[in-house]
Amino acid sequence: MANLPDEQPQRRREYSGPFTTLGIALVVILIVGFVFWFFELRTGGGSNNIKADNFGVIEQEGDFDPESQPAVASLGRLAPNFRLPNAHGEVIKLSDLRGRYVLLNFWASWCGPCRAEVRDLSELSDRFPEVLTVLGINQQEVSEIVIAFKSQFSVSYPLLLDFRGQVSSTYAISTGLPVSLLIDQKGVIREIYWGALSEEQYEYLIMTYLL
């Protein structure tokens, strides 16, 4: 005796055993994996797999941990350590500058206020070479731009390349440039300046820390 017909066969789902139902799902996933490998991993995906190794944020060195708290870009806390090259490949490590004040200046060539304060930063660097190091940290621009900028504005302090923006991210720098941080001799962040430093801020910085 015939059964009643299925009135909505297009809605019906049928289990035909693990191989033909769950197995096909597995095949689809394998195909996706293959496609991903083909496009992304096989030829390096056109992007570059060779990273500028060891550049970026690194572990603290030595037994410096004056606040006994993890490093973080916040006032009164140990500044995250990093290792970055300049446009000519010379490498600077923040922890190597312990014992001196360090003024980190995050900048980019497209940032008008950054260009405007370069002269003042250069003067500051030149005026206190014994106690202060100014480090310009460029945000993800190519070395040609940084070289041209250094030449154009006669920058007297090191300009470092944060290729991947890792240091900028760690210091919570977004596109609101420039941002400067004053780090003391023990590696602790003492001041954070959002935007270009004003005359009063320069004066305070010099009077309080550098003289």
Applying CB under 8 A, the span of 99-107, 114-122, 126-134, 175-183 interacting with other proteins comes to 114-122
Size of the site for other proteins (CB under 8 A): 71
For 23, the token pair is: 């197995």
According to DSSP, residue 104 is labeled E
Using the minimum distance from each CB to other proteins, give the nearer residue, 12 or 88.
12
- Residue 153 interacts with other proteins (CB under 8 A): yes or no: yes
Q: Which residue has the tokens 């070395």?
A: 143
Q: How far apart are CA 191 and CA 199, in angstroms?
A: 15
DSSP letters, 64-102, are --TTSS---SSTTSBPPPEEEEBTTS-EEEGGGGTTSEE
* Listed residue (164, 182, 210) closest to 105, CA to CA: 182
Helix (H, G, I), strand (E, B) or coil at 77: coil
Exactly one of 34, 123, 140, 198 binds other proteins (CB under 8 A); that residue is: 140
Q: How near is the Cβ of 161 to other proteins at its closest, in Å?
A: 9
Inter-residue contact 68 to 188 (CB < 8 Å): no
Q: Which of residues 176-205 bind other proteins (CB under 8 A)?
A: none
Amino acid at 104: L
- Residue 116 interacts with other proteins (CB under 8 A): yes or no: yes
Applying CB under 8 A, the span of 57-65, 176-184, 185-193, 197-205 interacting with other proteins comes to 57-65
- Residue 1 interacts with other proteins (CB under 8 A): yes or no: yes
Applying CB under 8 A, the span of 37-45, 95-103, 190-198, 201-209 interacting with other proteins comes to 37-45
In angstroms, the Cα distances linking 4 to 1, 7, 14, 173 are: 10, 9, 17, 69
Using the minimum distance from each CB to other proteins, give the nearer residue, 10 or 68.
10
Q: Which of residues 10-29 bind other proteins (CB under 8 A)?
A: 10-16, 18, 20-22, 24-25, 28-29
Using the minimum distance from each CB to other proteins, give the nearer residue, 46 or 207.
46
- Residue 91 interacts with other proteins (CB under 8 A): yes or no: no
Identify the H or E element spanning 24: helix 22-36
